[in-house]
Structure 1
Amino acid sequence: MSDIKTPLEPPPAYEDDHKHTAANGSAAPAQGATGARGPRAPLPLNLPALNMIKGKRIILASASPRRRQLLAQQTIIQHGWIGLTNLEIHPSPLPEDLSHALPPFQYVLQTAQQKATSVYAATIDSPPEEPALVIAADTVISTHLGEILEKPRSEREHVEMLKKLRDESGGWHKVYTAVVCMAPLDTPIDPGYAMETHVEETAVKFDQSVTDDLILSYVRTREGADKAGGYGIQGLGTILIEKIDGTFDNVVGLPLRATLQMIEKVVIEPNVPQEVDNVL
């Protein structure tokens, strides 16, 4: 394997692109909207839970444009169109500084729970009304030895990260995404909210035939600079990946099927009156 030269110091502009997300988090109109020629986008899913929160405050505790797009479904993938387009974006201010000695699934779950609870507490009493739903998520990539890989901090680290994914364990690594959904309860029951959590795991195989030159060329596109593991499978980064075992959207950053199931649980189930047996 040939050596490749990378800068000793991070380039000046190597920083999180998602910090420039619009403050209101509004999603672009779906492709094929009225007035535009071409294929018409599918209608949103018509489900009781989604209908109950329609027109209400839905907060995404993440600045990730990919998670926002998955919930709005500006790009259509296998699980249909959830259609949550009017999201408020409130990234958690808490530092993501848990110990990497934690197992990856515990690390992402605890991080996502911290995001959700901090944003829920910050917005529950804010105008115009309490949020009907708060969604938080965290994604990490783990090597076969359990080493947690988050976002690369420099071009050098980015190259080394992708080479590690290519060269270790036959190219196999795992992607973990934790999702937390919170919703206020209609009844005054402590703690006053319903919470559901889920951690999803997808195995991904990096193409071991990828050359050092291709890795460096991909790194310099900066597509993977703001992504855990340093690549975006939904974009140009797909050229680095041979195959996956699990859900594609989990690798992108949000497992939609599990997220929808949790939305249904926190929105509907806690507020359904329970039958009480008559006492004679």
Structure 2
Amino acid sequence: MSNSIPSEPPPSYEDAHRPVPGLNRAGPALSPRGPPPPRAPLPLNLPALTLLRGKRIVLASQSPRRRQLLAQIGLVNLEIVPSKFAENLPKTLSPFEYVLQTATEKAMDVYQREIDNKEKGEPALVIAADTVVISHRGRILEKPRSEADHISMLTMLRDEGTHKVCTAVAVMTPLESAKDPGYALETHVEETAVKFDATVTDDLILAYVRTRDGADKAGGYGIQTAGTILIEKIDGSYDNVVGLPLRPTLKLIEKVMMPDDEEELADDDDEFAHSDDDGI
């Protein structure tokens, strides 16, 4: 591996995910003489999304990638309320349980803090997610902690060949009825296989690490940015690797916002039957 050191050191891992003051994430502004920007598409005309228009939609994540993905289905007026959950569940859990419990705890934390918000009112929807990379040998990888950790992580992913990216999504909404527990919660875990290019060199890994592009990402790389140069192919959902499987997330939103009437009737019948059994 090359030992060459750039003239200016890359940013620290603590600073890598912080926005740069004055930087427009959408890129530089167009010249006044240039062509007008393309018109944004109209929002999806779906009943569940229509119900949410003008209401509080809380994203329990600071990830700009998740915010951008949700904007693709018309959820642009999101309120960002990061979860305070410590994300310290034991790694002895299976990767599926680990990522699912983490996303659920994130959603619950934000929901419980915002449900009695006297200034803004209760949220109509809370969306939380958690993404982990699972090595070929089953090791759960989150964000790299240092440059050495980052290099080691990417080298392992290259040498092992194929790994998995798992994202769990948890969606919550308060119920109008007093039915316990007072909210509807739906979850989903999406899995995508990613194959690194075996010919990626140590020098390329070092060069990528020093861009700090992957410093704030699970597994240490971003498929939607320069990290794509490390990847040979994927099998599954692309946006899952980015950080939020959009199609399943939309289905969860539809499920909590427009619950199946037959299920509700069945629940009501069960409660009525129990009441008869108790002699009430």
What is the TM-score when the length of structure 1 is the normalising length? 0.84
Q: Does 1:232 align with 2:222?
A: yes
2:139 to 135, 144, 147: 147
Q: Does 1:158 align with 2:145?
A: no
Does the 8 A contact of 1:186 with 1:271 survive in 2?
no
Name the amino acid aligned to 2:143.
K
Q: Deviations over 1:113-169 (max 9, x none)?
A: 11000100000011221100000000000011110010000001100100000001x
Distance 1:113 1:14 in 2: 27
Fraction of identical pairs, as percent: 65
2:180 to 190, 208, 219: 190
Alignment correspondent of 2:108: 117
CA RMSD of aligned residues (A): 2.8
Does the 8 A contact of 1:224 with 1:231 survive in 2?
yes
Distance 1:102 1:95 in 2: 16
Q: Deviations over 1:85-135 (max 9, x none)?
A: 111111111211111121111110000011000100000011221100000
Cα distance, 1:18 vs structure 2: 4.0
Q: Call closer, same or farther: CA 1:40–1:11 in 2, change over 3 Å.
A: closer
Q: Call closer, same or farther: CA 1:6–1:187 in 2, change over 3 Å.
A: farther
What is the TM-score when the length of structure 2 is the normalising length? 0.84
SS of 1:39 mapped into structure 2: coil
Q: Does 1:213 align with 2:215?
A: no
Q: Call closer, same or farther: CA 1:223–1:6 in 2, change over 3 Å.
A: same
Alignment correspondent of 1:262: 252
Cα distance, 1:271 vs structure 2: 7.8
Q: Deviations over 1:194-253 (max 9, x none)?
A: 000000000000011111000000000000000000000001111110000000000000
Does the 8 A contact of 2:11 with 2:212 survive in 1?
no
Unaligned runs of 5+ in 2: 270-280
Alignment correspondent of 1:246: 236
Distance 1:4 1:159 in 2: 13
Distance 2:10 2:39 in 1: 42
SS of 2:194 mapped into structure 1: strand
Distance 1:66 1:21 in 2: 16
Alignment correspondent of 1:136: 128
Distance 1:19 1:98 in 2: 25
Cα distance, 1:6 vs structure 2: 9.5
Name the amino acid aligned to 1:70.
L
Alignment correspondent of 2:59: 60
Distance 2:109 2:19 in 1: 21
Name the amino acid aligned to 2:251.
Q
Name the amino acid aligned to 1:132.
A
Name the amino acid aligned to 1:237.
G
Cα distance, 1:176 vs structure 2: 0.3
Q: Call closer, same or farther: CA 1:271–1:36 in 2, change over 3 Å.
A: farther
Unaligned runs of 5+ in 1: 73-80
Q: Call closer, same or farther: CA 1:38–1:118 in 2, change over 3 Å.
A: closer
Of 10-19 and 255-264, deviating more is 10-19
Q: How many residues align?
A: 256
Alignment correspondent of 2:278: none
Pairing 1:4-83 to 2, within 5 Å after superposition: 5=3, 13-15=12-14, 17-20=16-19, 37-72=36-71, 81-83=72-74
Does the 8 A contact of 1:6 with 1:155 survive in 2?
no
Does the 8 A contact of 1:18 with 1:65 survive in 2?
no
* Higher Rg: 2
Q: Call closer, same or farther: CA 1:36–1:112 in 2, change over 3 Å.
A: farther
SS of 1:52 mapped into structure 2: helix
Name the amino acid aligned to 2:159.
D
SS of 1:42 mapped into structure 2: coil
